[in-house]
Amino acid sequence: MKKLAAWPILSALVCLLAVQAEAQPLKLGRNQGGTQTLPILAINEKYFQEQGLDVELVMFLGTSDGINALNAGKIDVGLSFGTGSPLTFAAEGAPIVIIAGNLAGGHPIITKPENASKFKSVNDFKGKVVGTPRLYTADVVFRGAVFRAGLKPGADFELIEFRRTIDVLEAVKSGKIDVGIGSSSITAGAIEAGLAIPLWSNDLFAYHPCCRIITTKEVLEKRRPELVKLIRGLLLAEKKFDQDPEAAVKANEEDLKIDENLSRTLTLDPHIQLAVDPNTKGVVTMWDYMKESQYITSDADPKTFIDTSLYKEALDDLKKQQPDDPFWTILEKRFQDWN
């Protein structure tokens, strides 16, 4: 009897080993401290594993380092390298392709508490000393907003550029600048430092895209099935977040090694909007902002840097698997509206 009882266990073990043996490795690059709720949630819930993927997260200290690693073939996908940087590399000829989204909005504009009431709209930057992290998504959003408001750096306000958003945070704390254009990676630091967040990047450009999921043309050609599986896993994570946000709070708490209260603040803040949709229209607007700010001079069509077919395939797959689930119908409508 004992031998017979062992057969189901042995059979399950063989099946598990078979699945593991067939799992396709995929290296995903991410930024230190950046918001990666959906990928982390997908890992915690084993969605990637269920899709037959063996994902490895590779940490980078900056977007340029991550994109250079992607171009060099050291990673397969970039999760959180913004929107501005990938578009800049693509405009200069790098074989970058946007295949999905990760985060929209969610970048804080920070100042000391006593100055918070001075910043209610884009026009309130006039006459101030502003710090911005050059070429970060929040920087592109800020420059596009002030350009369209008719404000010019150097004439209407003083602009100091920084290489990293942590440097912006320190400049606000020391009083070197009046207000800083931040990124999601410094939100926790700003809160812990007692700084105020009177505005968010969303207030300057509603639901602007950030942290596009990017790959290269070579990886797309050779590993399309794995990339579709990746997007399916992310979409399942988006559904999980929609229906059980506390699971994401726990996932971020463990990943970022922060306490539960801070994780809840960062994960559930309504300004941090999570969506896997590529958002072609939003990316094109970001491209226009970059041209207006003279970050890029390329006459290329930004839509040539975006491939929405993988997202559509992944979404269609999930709708076929769960035809009665209204969540996928909502995402279908959003895809039509945004792309």
pLDDT at residue number 12: 45
> Which residue from 111, 270, 133, 265 is spatially nearest to 193, judged by alpha carbons?
111
Answer yes or no: is pLDDT of 5 > 60. Answer: no
Kindly indicate the confidence band of residue 33, based on its pLDDT and cuts at 50, 70 and 90: low
Average pLDDT value for residue range 99-122: 94
Q: Output the CA torsion sign for 204, 210, 216, 220.
A: negative
What tens digit of pLDDT does each residue of 180-223 get?
A: 999 888 888 899 899 999 999 999 998 899 889 999 999 999 99
Kindly indicate the confidence band of residue 240, based on its pLDDT and cuts at 50, 70 and 90: very high
Answer yes or no: is pLDDT of 21 > 60. Answer: no
Q: Could you give the domains of the chain?
A: 2-102+211-338 (3.40.190.10), 108-204 (3.40.190.10)
Secondary structure (3-state) at 114: helix
143/128 Cα distance (integer angstroms): 15
SS3 content of the chain, % helix, strand, coil (to 5): 55, 20, 30
What tens digit of pLDDT does each residue of 150-189 get?
A: 999 999 999 999 988 899 999 999 999 999 999 888 888 8
pLDDT at residue number 20: 47
pLDDT at residue number 14: 42
pLDDT at residue number 309: 98
pLDDT at residue number 61: 82
Helix-helix angle 37-44:224-243, to 10 degrees: 90
Answer yes or no: is pLDDT of 106 > 60. Answer: yes
Single-letter amino acid, residue 14: V
- Output the six-digit token pair for 209: 């895209």
- Report field, pTM of the whole predicted structure over 0.75: yes
What tens digit of pLDDT does each residue of 129-159 get?
A: 999 998 888 999 999 999 999 999 999 999 9
Q: Share the mean pLDDT of the chain.
A: 91
67/214 Cα distance (integer angstroms): 9
Residue with more model confidence, 243 or 12: 243
Average pLDDT value for residue range 22-41: 87
pLDDT at residue number 18: 42
What tens digit of pLDDT does each residue of 66-100 get?
A: 999 999 999 999 998 889 889 999 999 999 999 99
pLDDT at residue number 4: 39
> Which residue from 195, 186, 192, 193 is spatially nearest to 164, judged by alpha carbons?
186
83/201 Cα distance (integer angstroms): 13
